[in-house]
Structure 1
Amino acid sequence: MVLLRQEIGDVLRDFRLQKGHTLRQVASKASVALGYLSEVERGQKEASSEILASVAEALDTPISSIMREVGDRIAVIEGLAIVPDTIPADIVAAELDAEVMAH
């Protein structure tokens, strides 16, 4: 079973480490208790949307990027293909054709 809190914690830790920040730095900047943030990163606590937003801001990372990474990781775990970030060209072309025909 996939635990969302575990994936969120892993992603937050990965983003923090990529930025070269310590847990203490991020907790302080996000105004979150160090122990609590540690538990979130280890998947032991569920973070509220407010906490996630504060941590994302402290990491100078859009929350959408964090959640996209979480979704992509869960898709891999579930054995699903990851949804592309862009709309396939044939769909865009069909939409443009339909729009031209409507005018």
Structure 2
Amino acid sequence: MTKQPVSVNGVVRWKDVGQSANTAPTSREPKVILLRHAIGEVLRDVRQRQNRTLREVSHSARVSLGYLSEVERGQKEASSELLASICQALEIPLSQMLAEVSERMAVEEGFNVPDTVPAEFSEQFKREYGVSATSSKDIPSGEPTLSPTR
């Protein structure tokens, strides 16, 4: 293995060359995802699914277009107040946006979170609605969430 100079933006760094694929280290560490990147991706995806521009959303959220762009690209860590304002402008609950972020991060990290309803909730749901709930999709929208102490 040899070293070769590589210039990036006027800075010279040394790069290893000639290393074969079978001698490369193979670490299986979990992938680290930054929260601000995941939040930005979800906000951009939601905005694009609605066919809205950055300008429209930034105006509705009362945040500068440049700052919203940086949040979407994961370059800025948005405050909870700013996230709430952006979600309101996108007409989605903050909790829904965060749930989508959580799901994406779990997939990227290789962690599988099953979409199942705990047994006690399922039984209570069955008593109240006459139907068994096996996933959160079985719970009617607009209904209050079930609490185990009822």
Aligned residue number for residue 33 of structure 2: 2
- Cα offsets for 1:10-35 (capped at 9, x unmatched): 00000000111100000000000110
Alignment of 1:42-57 (within 5 A): 42-57=73-88
**Which structure 1 residue ranges, 4+ long, deviate > 2 Å from structure 2?**
90-94
Equivalenced residues, count: 95
Query: Could you say which structure has the higher helix fraction?
Result: 1
TM-score normalized by the length of structure 1: 0.84
Alignment of 1:55-70 (within 5 A): 55-70=86-101
Structure 2 residue 101 is matched with structure 1 residue 82:
no
Alpha-carbon distance in structure 1 between the residues aligned to 2:114 and 2:83: 23
> Identity percentage over the alignment?
53
Considering only CA atoms, is the larger Rg found in Structure 1 or Structure 2?
2
1:37 deviates by 0.3
Structure 2 residue 13 is matched with structure 1 residue 14:
no
Structure 1 residues without counterparts, runs of 5 or longer = 97-103
- Cα offsets for 1:12-69 (capped at 9, x unmatched): 0000001111000000000001100000000000000001000000001111110000
1:82 deviates by 2.6
Structure 2 residues without counterparts, runs of 5 or longer = 1-31, 127-150
Alpha-carbon distance in structure 2 between the residues aligned to 1:30 and 1:81: 33
Structure 2 residue 65 is matched with structure 1 residue 34:
yes
Query: Could you say which structure has the higher strand fraction?
Result: 2
1:93 deviates by 3.4
TM-score normalized by the length of structure 2: 0.58
Alpha-carbon distance in structure 2 between the residues aligned to 1:63 and 1:82: 20
